[in-house]
């Protein structure tokens, strides 16, 4: 695949991965992107997952013909991109590895590289001339590891954005960008909004025509759309108006309450209602939806003096990703000691700018007149009525 006359795609598609980064289901696989820049000097941008060593090296050889790479630029040391550094150097021992101080610390931890390997240690904003192409390295710590840097090619106006603007899904599957990019971003980079904001401010000063991420498609058109999404996600602003109801239910009574609430929300004109069963639905998709909408209802049972485990995990996912700027409401079910609402509220104590709905719902075992009335009241409150 040709990105520009002198930038070629040499990445791979992975349809065998069971859980990306050990936890994310990827129904449409995963792409590990890598690029070659052909100039007076030749640079390879990042490697790929360890299982694709041969395919990746063959892709590089195809593009190079009888040339040899001068540089291997390492933007990110997470093994989905760095696993083949040593394998690359076995084939191309004369190539210089380019990274920053932190990159090389990690590289030595992972590979104990031969001291004879040629290293070019770059500083933030340092440039590397390949001939016609001039690359500028912009450090982007915690997007999403501390050593991450992105690379701007001012000649072809390409931003090599590391994990930024990446998504789940292999490149040979056509699917909506927003959905799987959002699930990827919130899950993997969501905690580091401030760092992404910083990077977006730098990006705004550059003339960018093409974005080449390490996962997902190369972005060549309507870049404003993707940048706007990143701005919304990284500033923790809700993306859409709507209510997400996340619940757990042991015998179906909490589920009945949630179904009633969903109906009442729709009856009161709520533009969008999303209902997720935390025990059965993809947790990363649930987390994504909680960040997507401006209102969230959490419904669960008291369990072992605490709350039901899937709900506990879900709230941990939210708070550790700096969940903020939303309205939340609580629904609890307990047969003899209904304390879930108090426990859930406490879990958000340190979260910024959270408005807790005045109405909370307590169910004693099963819905009755009183709890139904509370649900109807909550629906009205969440719809501003």
**Which residues bind to ligand FEO, rule: CB under 6 A?**
76, 78, 80-81, 144-145, 163, 214-215
Nearest-angstrom CA–CA distance, 336 and 187: 36
Report the residue count for the chain. 385
Please identify, using beta-carbon distances, which residue of 78 and 156 lies nearer to ligand FEO.
78
Give residue number: closest CB to ligand FEO. Answer: 78
Name residue 357's beta-bridge partners.
Answer: none
Beta carbon of residue 21, minimum distance to ligand FEO (angstroms, whole number)? 7
Beta carbon of residue 191, minimum distance to ligand FEO (angstroms, whole number)? 13
Please identify, using beta-carbon distances, which residue of 8 and 215 lies nearer to ligand FEO.
215
Separation in Å, CA 119 to CA 78, 91, 95, 114? 19, 16, 9, 11
**Cα 283 to chain centroid, rounded:** 13
Please identify, using beta-carbon distances, which residue of 51 and 360 lies nearer to ligand FEO.
51
Beta carbon of residue 214, minimum distance to ligand FEO (angstroms, whole number)? 5
Please identify, using beta-carbon distances, which residue of 144 and 295 lies nearer to ligand FEO.
144
Please identify, using beta-carbon distances, which residue of 105 and 359 lies nearer to ligand FEO.
105
Beta carbon of residue 79, minimum distance to ligand FEO (angstroms, whole number)? 8
Name residue 297's beta-bridge partners.
Answer: 245, 329
Separation in Å, CA 200 to CA 11, 212, 290, 301? 25, 15, 23, 41
Within 8 A by CB and 6+ apart from 370, the residues are: none
Separation in Å, CA 116 to CA 36, 96, 203? 24, 10, 36
Beta carbon of residue 118, minimum distance to ligand FEO (angstroms, whole number)? 25
Nearest-angstrom CA–CA distance, 162 and 81: 9
What DSSP assignment string belongs to 328-366?
EEEEEE-SS---HHHHHHHHTTT-SSEEEPS--EEEBSB
Please identify, using beta-carbon distances, which residue of 98 and 162 lies nearer to ligand FEO.
162
Beta carbon of residue 20, minimum distance to ligand FEO (angstroms, whole number)? 9
Q: Phi/psi at 371 (nearest 5 deg)?
A: -70, -35
Please identify, using beta-carbon distances, which residue of 35 and 330 lies nearer to ligand FEO.
35
Beta carbon of residue 80, minimum distance to ligand FEO (angstroms, whole number)? 4
């Amino acid at each position: 695949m040709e990105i520009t006359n002198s930038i070629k795609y040499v990445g791979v598609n992975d349809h065998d991965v069971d859980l990306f980064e050990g936890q994310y289901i990827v129904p449409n696989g995963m792409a590990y992107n890598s690029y070659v820049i052909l100039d007076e000097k030749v640079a390879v941008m990042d490697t790929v997952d360890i299982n694709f060593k041969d395919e990746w090296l063959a892709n590089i050889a195809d593009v190079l013909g009888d040339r040899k790479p001068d540089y291997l630029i390492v933007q990110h040391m997470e093994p989905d991109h760095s696993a083949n550094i040593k394998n690359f150097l076995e084939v191309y021992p004369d190539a210089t590895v380019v990274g920053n101080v932190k990159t090389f610390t990690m590289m030595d931890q992972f590979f104990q590289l031969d001291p004879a390997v040629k290293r070019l240690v770059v500083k933030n904003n340092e440039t590397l001339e390949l001939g016609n192409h001039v690359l500028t390295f912009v450090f982007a710590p915690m997007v999403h590891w501390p050593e991450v840097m992105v690379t701007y090619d001012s000649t072809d106006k390409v931003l090599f954005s590391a994990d930024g603007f990446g998504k789940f899904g292999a490149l040979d599957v056509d699917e909506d960008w927003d959905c799987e990019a959002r699930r990827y971003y919130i899950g993997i980079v969501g905690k580091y909004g401030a760092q992404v904001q910083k990077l977006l401010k730098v990006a705004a000063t550059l003339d960018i025509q093409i974005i080449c991420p390490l996962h997902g498609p190369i972005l060549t058109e309507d870049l404003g759309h993707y940048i706007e999404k990143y701005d919304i996600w990284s500033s923790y602003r809700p993306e859409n108006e709507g209510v997400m109801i996340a619940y757990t239910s042991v015998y179906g009574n909490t589920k009945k309450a949630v179904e009633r609430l969903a109906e009442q929300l729709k009856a009161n004109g709520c533009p969008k209602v999303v209902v997720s069963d935390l025990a059965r639905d993809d947790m990363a998709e649930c987390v994504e939806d909680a960040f997507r909408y401006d209102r969230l209802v959490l419904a669960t049972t008291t369990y072992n003096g605490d709350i039901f485990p899937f709900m506990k995990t879900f709230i941990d996912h939210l708070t550790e990703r700096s969940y903020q700027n939303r309205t939340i409401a609580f629904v609890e079910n307990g047969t003899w000691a209904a304390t879930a609402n108090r426990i859930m509220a406490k879990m958000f104590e340190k979260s910024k700018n959270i408005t807790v709905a005045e109405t909370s719902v307590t169910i004693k075992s099963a819905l009755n007149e009183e709890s139904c009335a509370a649900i109807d009241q909550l629906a009205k409150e969440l719809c501003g009525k």
